[in-house]
Amino acid sequence: MPSVNIRCRENGPLVVEGEVTLTDHQGNRFVIDASKRALALCRCGISNNKPFCDGEHRCGDFQAAELAPSKS
Ligand code: FES
């Protein structure tokens, strides 16, 4: 069982659940509030707080509802 789960929110961010570090393209770490059990990463591209989701996806017409293959 993985210690990190990344959950795709319908028409919203990628929610990362588990203990992770997040670095920028220069290798510097973003500060993550250790009290939070999950963080939401923007995948719509319009957040004013990238790479984090700030809820702006609700204002646009971003749509993403990919489904994983069923287990049958
Ligand atoms: S996914 Fe929420 S602001 Fe982009």
Q: From the CB of 46, is ligand 1 less than 6 Å away?
A: yes
Whole-number Å distance, alpha carbon 39 to ligand 1 midpoint, is 12
Whole-number Å distance, alpha carbon 72 to ligand 1 midpoint, is 32
Around 37, how many Cα atoms within 13 Å sit in the side-chain half-sphere? 1
Q: Tell me: pLDDT of 67 over 80.
A: yes
Q: Is position 70 within any domain?
A: no
Summarised one tens digit per residue, pLDDT across range 4-48 is 999 999 999 999 999 999 999 999 999 998 888 899 999 999 999
Q: What is the pLDDT of residue 72?
A: 72
For residue 21, give the CATH number of its domain.
3.40.5
Q: Is position 38 within any domain?
A: yes
Q: Is position 17 within any domain?
A: yes
Q: Is position 18 within any domain?
A: yes
Q: From the CB of 39, is ligand 1 less than 6 Å away?
A: no
Is 57:44 a contact under the CB 8 Å cutoff? Answer: yes
Which range of residues forms the domain containing residue 51?
1-65
Q: Is position 51 within any domain?
A: yes
Q: What is the pLDDT of residue 36?
A: 87
Is 56:5 a contact under the CB 8 Å cutoff? Answer: no
Over residues 61-67, mean pLDDT? 95
The number of domains in the chain is 1
Tokens coding 21: 């570090």
H or E element at residue 5: strand 5-8
Q: pLDDT tier at 60 (50, 70, 90 boundaries)?
A: confident
